[in-house]
Structure 1
Amino acid sequence: MDGFTEKITDKDFIGKLIPQKSPFVMVDKLLHFEDRKVIAGLTVSEENIFTQNNIFAVPGLIEHMAQSVALYTGYQFFLKKEDPPTGYIGAIKKTEIFELPSIGKELKTTVNILHEILGVTLVTAQTECDNKVIATIEMKTVLAP
């Protein structure tokens, strides 16, 4: 699978690539895709269910990183002309949150795929805001049977 340089910002199309539905969608852009790597984005909005007191809360940030992995998988399936699978977080470790973004901020999350086998994906992810790393995580996601 080759990478692409065209950004996908059509929220309806992004919504077809992930199993989550509104109001639980935590990605709104596919900024880059290549084999074993994806860069996803989110504009933090006041309407987001994880926004409290104008700040995007920790669970939202973690869910954003997980949905960035789902976006990678969903785009892989889209390229094969298949529906995106449902998956879930299997394990989280090595999570570091340095800063929580406020409403209107743009998040950019880079996910590197370490291993992918039998529906289990092990990744590292790093979220940036204003060109500064605000969170890192290592997680395992699992596709539902």
Structure 2
Amino acid sequence: MEPDANPPLAHDDPASAFTALRGEVSLLRRAVEGLTAERQNAPDYTPTLTGLSSRLGHVEELLCKVAESPAMRLTPGNLAASIAKASETARSGDRETLDKAGAALRASIASINGVVEHAWTADRQWRQLYWTGGGGLLIGALGALSILHFFG
């Protein structure tokens, strides 16, 4: 064991008590002087803290803008509804275009069908005319033969 640095003092000896007190006060004074010197040698953090404060203010402004943006208010349900609405809007123009194209196609088909029907009707009429003409010619020829044969 180490011997005591401060042996127990006798309560009767005022001189040794004052000596011990003087040593303690001297030790206390050196400690206070060391703290003062440390405080004087401590760096000044004011510029750094000022810069940090301004950056934090800027970050806070940005976070407020982000929090107020419409995207932050979207929930999965809201997002699905927004997508459905946007797709309906986008498809409505396509639907109108398809409806117009369908109507134009139906009109074109009807026109073509009319032309084809007209051509078939004309073809039937020509065939009927040929058959009628041929039949008339045949009847006329037979009639002429029978008259020649009868009178002849």
TM-score for the superposition, normalised by structure 2: 0.17
- Structure with the higher helix share, 1 or 2: 2
TM-score normalized with structure 1 length = 0.18
Task: Choose between structure 1 and 2 for higher RCO, CA contacts under 8 A separated by at least 6 residues.
Answer: 1
